Structure 1
Amino acid sequence: MEKFVGSPTHWLFGHALEIQQTGSLDKVVSWAHQFPYAHQLWFGQFIGFLNIYEPDYAKAVYSRGDPKAPDVYDFFIQWIGKGLLVLDGPKWFQHRKLLTPGFHYDVLKPYVALFAESTCNMLDKWEEKSRKDKSFDIFSDVGHMALDSLMICTFGRGDTSLGHGDSSYCLAVSDLTRLMQQRLETFQYHGDFIYWLTPHGCRFLRACQVAHDHTEQVIRERKAALQDKKVWEKIQKQRHRDFLDILLDAQFIQDDNMEKLEEIIEKYPHAFPLWIGPFQAFFYICDPDYAKTFLNRTDPKSQYVQKFLSPLIGKGLVSLDGPKWFQHRRLLTPAFHFNILKAYIEVMAHSVKTMLDKWEKICSTQDTTMEVYKHINLMSLDIIMKCAFSKETNCQTNSTRDPYEKAIFEVSRIVFHRLYSFLHHSDIIFKLSPQGHRFQKLNQVLYQYTDMIIQDRKKSLQTGGKQDNTQKRKYQDFLDIVLSAKDENGGSFSDADVHSEVSTFLLAGHDPVAASISWVLYCLAQNPEHQERCREEVRGILGDGSSITWDQLGEMSYTTMCIKETFRLIPAVPSISRDLSKPLTFPDGCTLPAGITVVLSIWGLHHNPAVWKNPKVFDPLRFSKENSDQRHPYAYLPFSAGSRNCIGQQFAMIELKVTIALILLHFRMTPDPTRPLTFSNHFILKPKNGMYLHLKKLPEC
């Protein structure tokens, strides 16, 4: 600074008094003539700036990535929070990149008519004032017109809808602008402690409160209005969508409005940003080429997977990354070899027949409407407990629900709601909330249950009970394999690793599979011609279904196509996410910086009209060999793809085939038109209020 000269300073106030007495702009012009390149500027004796006026100086400064000046920009935080104006570094770059599409000319075009309308309203006022043949102040009118336009573009409400609250908001914004300028020019006010104690500081805080209250009220009202489908359809037909409508897109994802997601994807078939609260954004992709680029990298799982699921399942395959993930994947791969999976077919069939016996008692020989999802959920839990632990829970026939069963059903709902409640992203806030307390209790139940089974098995193995138990069971369960797994160096899983992988297997092998079975039944009920064709195929292969073999499952080609089409139409896992560890460039040249959370929307990809013809139509022939060969390899990703694809996909497919085949042999399903289906997107896409189907018992073959 000493190399740049400047005008003399006051011993206490620096240049502050000159600016206040002369006016900041007049003084700046005077200094620019006196010092044509740059000069010192002091507010007091300790806060100094370098004012520059020369183009080459400006080019040198703005070509760098220096942070914003905290002595100026920090004053805005109380009013506007940490938005684009205040941010720096990677966070600024992330926000700028995600917000840029909001100012695309296609978005701005509809605003032209709104600007013209606000201007015409102002001109009407001027015409009335001009009749008095006197001069009048135009600045307040222009300022009001600009604010009116901005409020319409932001909130969808302007001058014509200004009530008392809106008028207070306008006054508050005017006050805040004036007080902000005053604070910048008064160096005594630069310290927060002193400023908040002054009358001006108190007024600034009151104006902030008015502005925040107004904004929050408008957001609450818009959220409430958007719950009405008619209102939502009306907004979609508007010539423009205001900024608040766009910000509330995330609310519709949280509210399980998958149709809304489809509308966004139709408009943005490659990618789009989605905001959760004012500060956290996700970048959604729904294009096969984008998906291929994204999945063939080694970016870590999203921090939200780590943060929200790790307390529940520990550090297992779902949450691990890097060398640790690779080690676990290699040790667990033998557990899903077809020789291991073959033995599970009989276990699965036994659990399915237990469920069908219940259905027969309920249905007898007459047509009956039944909520089938709860039965399928229990059946799937029964299967996974047997395959994981060889544990006979009798959960399908017990009238009282097991504590583990209750906990596993509730905990996924809490985790999902935490993801879309940005306040609960804070561990402290979440742990202090009622949901956080409930989560801790449920997690303790799950941990103790799993740990007890693991410790009992380890004791059994130590006392030589392995051979006897395995011979009785005729198959190795998942726990057997995890406890005996060793790598080439003789290394094995630690106690914590065993617990994590067993918990992961239970979670991943229960909820998604139960949901998928339910969706297949729903699609077949909605499409009776495909249901009948599957039934004929199964009868031709299985006969009365008294036994099922591995080879017979491989012969069910049309049933498999129907299962795959259901996975496309209603993927049980609707999205996966990663945090970019380095910049990502897509095939079309679009780039994202490191640090962005990218979400591959599997639902969006599978419903993208640019990828699939008539995506809402149930058409199993999409998965015939000739059609599959012609399709982009990353257009269909129910189990993800690349090195981190789902390790248990064959287990899931076997359970689906066994279950669907046996149900088709015994029951005909039709939909219940009085019970429309809604989605509940708790990480897993499942029926929100159950799934009601008409079931008719078929005569024995």
Structure 2
Amino acid sequence: MEIMFKRKFVIWHHYDFVFNLTPLAKQYTDLAAKIHTFTSTVSSKKKTNCVSGEAERKNESPEALSEDGSSAGRTFLQQLLELSEEGANFTDEEIRDEVDTFMIGGSATTASMNTFVFIMLGMFPDIQKKVYEEVMDVLGPDKIVECTDLGKLIYLERVIKETMRLFPVGLLIVRAITGDIQLDNNCIIPAGSSVVLVILKLHRDPEIWPNPTKFDPDRFLPEAIAKRHSYSWLPFSGEPRNCAGVKYAMMAMKSLIATVVRKYQFSTEYKTVEEIRITADLMLKPLDGYKLAIELRE
């Protein structure tokens, strides 16, 4: 990610001829090969399992089938492989690229976001207490988090969303303009150009978010959301090209945070949001480290 980010913003590295002369190119090639080897192995194993399990799936009981007659609980990779077998003709490289996206995009991003949430809990003990009490009320001390529990963690969801407002894991997104766009100030963005949307600036715009660096989960109460434009909060981008893993990400973050916060409490050296200097290498990160301390609850 660091190498990709450097290449994106160093103009002369855009040219393969120049980039391939740098030490970064060899390092990038070696790292990419390791990632592709790992994901290709996962795809190959799953492909073998799909082929060997075809006969078993045909004999599955009605209880194991969804309403449309397909087997319930299919993973994304299983569905890709099955579509390929049915005539979609995805190449191994195309399938591997999709696996790369979900494995990397669905793990590093949520891991970073979870840690920012823990920093916020450490910075605001009263909010941490409310999250803990809600989790204990919904789950108790030992229950494993189940899908049906996640919708009940209403306050935790607001805390996660407010954290993503202040620290969107994707600092910016870029969009290609396919047709002229007329702006309110008589300015036209011409077709063929690119627009960089700085999500961090949007999320801290005082005209949309009063006192923008104040951490306030109640900004995401239903009545507060109704007063804002639907695109004023875009940690997952927006339709029609929004993140494919929105629901997965929220489920994963809620599950992990709820599991951990029951057993541990958090503190941090950071005293205010303004103290957290940030940097980016495709993902947003604290420049001075996470500075997070964890203590087992009594």
Bin the TM-score by the shorter chain: 0.7 to 0.9
Letter matched to residue 461 of structure 1? C
Flag the 1:598–1:466 CA change in 2: closer, same or farther, 3 A: farther
Q: Pick one of 36, 40, 61 that aligns with 1:451.
A: 40
Q: CA RMSD in A?
A: 2.4
Q: Distance in 2 between matches of 1:566 and 1:494?
A: 39
**Which residue matches 1:442?**
31
1:523 paired with 2:112, answer: no
Structure 1 residues 131-170: aligned runs within 5 Å: none
Aligned to 2:289: 690
**Equivalent of 1:478, from 69, 76, 84?**
76
Of the three residues 617, 622, 629, the one matched with 2:214 is 617
Spell out, residue by residue over 1:410-433, the C-alpha distance to the aligned partner (whole angstroms, 9 max, x if none). Answer: xx1110111121221111111110
When residues 576 and 593 of structure 1 are mapped into structure 2, their CA distance, relative to the original with a 3 A threshold, is: same
Deviation for aligned residue 1:671: 0.7
TM-aligned CA deviation for residue 490 of structure 1: 4.9
Q: Give deviations 1:10-57, integer Å, cap 9, x for gaps.
A: xxxxxxxxxxxxxxxxxxxxxxxxxxxxxxxxxxxxxxxxxxxxxxxx
- Does 1:586 pair with 2:183? yes
Q: Which residue of 1 aligns with 2:168?
A: 571
- C-alpha deviation, 1:551, in angstroms: 2.0
Could you say which residue in structure 2 is the equivalent of 1:417?
6
Q: What amino acid does structure 2 have at the position aligned with 1:668?
A: Q
Conserved in 2, the CA contact under 8 Å of 1:668 and 1:697?
Answer: yes
Cα shift at 1:550: 1.6
Q: CA deviation at 1:447?
A: 1.6
Give matches, 1:47-86, under 5 Å.
none
**1:677: Cα distance to partner?**
4.3
TM-score, scaled to structure 1: 0.38
1:693–1:582 distance in 2 versus 1, CA, 3 Å: same
How far is 1:456 from its partner? 2.9
Normalised by the length of structure 2, the TM-score is 0.87
Post-superposition shift, 1:494? Answer: 3.0
Separation (CA, whole Å) in 2 of partners of 1:435 and 1:486: 36
SS at match of 1:670: strand
Alignment match of 1:545 (pick from 138, 142, 151): 142
**Partner deviation per Cα, 1:668-699 (whole Å, 9 max, x = no partner):** 1111259x744230111123453122222112
Structure 1: tracts of 5 or more residues without a match: 1-411
Does structure 2 retain, via aligned residues, the 8 Å contact 1:460–1:466?
Answer: no
Moved over 4 A (4+): 465-468
- The letter for the 1-side match of 2:37 is Q
Change (3 A) 1:457 1:577: same
Inter-partner Cα distance in structure 1 for 2:9 and 2:125: 37
Q: Say whether the 8 Å CA contact 1:666–1:698 is kept in structure 2.
A: yes
CA–CA distance in 2 between the matches of 1:648 and 1:442? 24
Matched, 1:604 2:201: yes
Structure with the higher helix share, 1 or 2 = 1
Deviation at 1:486, TM superposition (A): 6.5
By relative contact order (CA 8 Å, sep 6+), the higher-ranking structure is: 2
**Bigger CA radius of gyration:** 1
Q: What amino acid does structure 1 have at the position aligned with 2:261?
A: L
After superposition, residues 39-118 of structure 1 pair within 5 angstroms as none
Gaps of at least 5 residues in structure 2 are 65-71
The count of residues paired between Structure 1 and Structure 2 equals 283
Residue 525 of structure 1 contacts residue 671 of structure 1 at CA under 8 Å; is this kept in 2? yes
Shift in Å at residue 621 of structure 1?
0.5
Superimposed CA distance per residue, residues 476-513 of structure 1 (whole angstroms, 9 cap, x where no aligned partner): 433212211369x9535332321111111112101211
Q: Distance in 2 between matches of 1:527 and 1:679?
A: 19
Distance 2:76 2:282 in 1: 24
Mapping of residues 496-535 of structure 1, within 5 Å: 496-535=93-132
- Residues 197-233 of structure 1: CA deviation (Å, up to 9, x unaligned): xxxxxxxxxxxxxxxxxxxxxxxxxxxxxxxxxxxxx
Q: Which residue does the alignment assign to 2:279?
A: 680
Residues 590/513 of structure 1: CA separation in 2 closer, same or farther (3 Å cut): same
Residues 216-264 of structure 1: per-residue CA shift (max 9 Å, x gap): xxxxxxxxxxxxxxxxxxxxxxxxxxxxxxxxxxxxxxxxxxxxxxxxx
Distance 1:526 1:448 in 2: 41
Aligned-partner SS, 1:538: helix
Q: For residue 88 of structure 2, give the secondary structure of its aligned residue in structure 1.
A: coil
